[in-house]
């Protein structure tokens, strides 16, 4: 059994793709055992509950600015890690989880956290990506990369799945797909097209990782 924890902040259509693949016997024996969100209104929690999969919300408390902000955030990461660790996951998937996780969280799941990012990221951690046609485009990082790609007038963007390190939107690449930007694209249409690729990629990556896993000690 290859146990998967999925962290979400929103709709959870990628989570649903994992559920669907699991039902179709297409997830290589991997099973989603828990879904955790920082937002109680994340629809992905309902998707989990509807299947009888454990679902939890660990909200990040509003904190005043200043030094105490760091302590509040560190304590939240520990609470989050405790909930996830209770399910002893082989893999933690950040599927639209809109919070940055530091080593305070990551150290509990060494080399076991992967992230979906709706833009192309480079393998070398640099500031540009070279596409399959030799075009050099900016590596877009952060929470607004779909509108950023439109604003910059790029002709191609994409999506990436990578292992998570303490550096934001960085880490070894597991899968990447280029997505052309069409002349009449807006943020919604472009993001939907990217997400269709993300759903296919996340299933493939989880299946491959499950297939290559060594038994839990």
The least CB distance from residue 127 to ligand GRF, in Å, is: 20
3-state secondary structure of 142: coil
Closest distance of CB 147 from ligand GRF, Å: 12
**Catalytic hit among 33, 117, 162, 191:** 117
In terms of C-beta density within 10 A (0-12 exposed, 13-18 middle, 19 or more buried), how is residue 121 classed? buried
How many helices (H) and strands (E) the chain has is answered by: 6, 9
Q: Which of residues 108-167 bind ligand GRF (CB under 6 A)?
A: 116-118
CA 86, CA 81: separation in Å to the nearest integer? Answer: 8
Residues in 8-27 at the binding interface with ligand GRF, rule: CB under 6 A: 8, 10-14
Annotation marks residue 117 as catalytic: yes
Nearer to ligand GRF by Cβ, of 13 and 22: the residue is 13
Do 90 and 68 form a contact (C-beta atoms < 8 A)? no
10 or 213, CB closer to ligand GRF? Answer: 10
User: How many whole angstroms separate alpha carbon 37 and alpha carbon 112?
Assistant: 18
Q: How far apart are CA 217 and CA 6, in angstroms?
A: 22
Instruction: Give the C-alpha separation, 115 to 3, whole Å.
Output: 16
Q: Does 100 bind ligand GRF (CB under 6 A)?
A: no
Residue 99 DSSP code: S
Question: Considering beta carbons, is residue 72 or 182 the nearer one to ligand GRF?
Answer: 182
What φ, ψ does residue 183 adopt, rounded to 5°? -55, -35
Compute CA 55 distance to the chain's CA centroid, rounded to the nearest angstrom: 17
In the bound complex, what is the minimum distance in angstroms from residue 2's beta carbon to ligand GRF? 20
Q: Does 170 bind ligand GRF (CB under 6 A)?
A: no
Total binding residues toward ligand GRF, as defined by CB under 6 A: 13
By CB under 6 A, residue 47 contacts ligand GRF: no
Residue window 197-216: x/- pattern of binding to ligand GRF, with contact defined by CB under 6 A: -x------------------
List residues with catalytic annotation.
117
Q: Which residues bind ligand GRF (CB under 6 A)?
A: 8, 10-14, 95-96, 116-118, 195, 198
């Amino acid at each position: 059994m290859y146990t998967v924890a999925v962290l979400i902040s929103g709709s959870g259509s990628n989570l649903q793709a994992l559920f669907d693949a699991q039902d179709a016997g297409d997830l290589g024996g991997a099973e989603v055992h828990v879904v955790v969100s920082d937002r109680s209104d994340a629809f992905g929690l309902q998707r989990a509950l509807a299947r009888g999969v454990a679902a939890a919300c660990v909200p990040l408390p509003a904190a005043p600015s200043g030094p105490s902000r760091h302590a509040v955030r560190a304590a939240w990461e520990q609470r989050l890690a405790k909930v996830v660790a209770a399910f002893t996951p082989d893999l933690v998937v950040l599927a639209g989880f809109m919070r940055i996780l530091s080593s305070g969280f990551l150290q509990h799941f060494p080399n076991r956290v992967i992230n979906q990012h709706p833009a192309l990221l480079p393998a070398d951690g640099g500031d540009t990506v070279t596409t399959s046609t030799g075009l050099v485009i900016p590596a877009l990082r952060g929470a607004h990369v779909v509108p950023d790609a439109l604003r910059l007038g790029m002709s191609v963007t994409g999506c990436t799945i990578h292992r998570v390190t303490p550096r934001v939107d960085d880490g070894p690449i597991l899968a990447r797909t280029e997505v052309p930007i069409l002349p009449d694209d807006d943020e919604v249409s472009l993001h939907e097209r990217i997400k269709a690729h993300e759903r296919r990629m996340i299933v493939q990556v989880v299946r491959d990782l499950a297939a290559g896993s060594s038994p839990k000690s």
